[in-house]
Amino acid sequence: MLCHEVDYEVFGDDMQIVEVELDPGETVIAEAGAMNYMEDGITFESKMGDGTTPTSGVMGALLNVGKRVLTGESIFLTHFSNTGQGKRRVAFAAPYPGKIIPMDMAALGGELICQKDAFLCAAFGTRTDIAFQKKLGAGFFGGEGFILQRLNGDGMAFVHAGGTLIRRELRAGEVLRVDTGCIAAFTSGVDYDIERAGNLKSMVFGGEGLFLATLRGPGTVFLQSLPFSRLADRVLQAGSVGGNKGEGSVLGGLGDLFGDR
Distance CA 125, CA 100 (A): 20
For the domain covering 7-236, report its CATH number. 3.60.160.10
pLDDT at residue 210, rounded to an integer? 66
pLDDT at residue 248, rounded to an integer? 46
* Rounded mean pLDDT, 39-52: 87
Positive/negative CA dihedral, 234, 237, 240, 243: negative
Q: Which distant-in-sequence residues (6+ apart) come within 8 Å of 25 by Cβ? A: 81, 82, 83
Q: Which amino acid is it at 258?
A: F
pLDDT at 100 exceeding the cut of 50: yes
Distance CA 126, CA 105 (A): 9
Mean pLDDT across the chain, nearest whole number? 80
* Rounded mean pLDDT, 231-248: 63
Cβ neighbour number for residue 168 with a 10 Å cutoff: 16
pLDDT band at 60 (very low <50, low <70, confident <90, very high): low
pLDDT at 72 exceeding the cut of 60: no
pLDDT band at 80 (very low <50, low <70, confident <90, very high): very high
* Rounded mean pLDDT, 83-87: 93
Total-model pTM? 0.79
Decide if 139 contacts 70 (C-beta within 8 A).
no
pLDDT at 136 exceeding the cut of 70: no
Q: Which of 70-84, 176-190, 240-254 has the highest mean pLDDT?
A: 176-190
pLDDT at 103 exceeding the cut of 80: yes
pLDDT at residue 165, rounded to an integer? 92
* Rounded mean pLDDT, 140-154: 72
Backbone angles phi, psi at 156, to 5 degrees: -90, 135
pLDDT at residue 102, rounded to an integer? 96
pLDDT at residue 191, rounded to an integer? 92
pLDDT at 175 exceeding the cut of 50: yes
pLDDT in tens, 176-235: 999 888 899 999 899 988 777 665 555 555 555 567 888 999 999 999 998 776 666 677
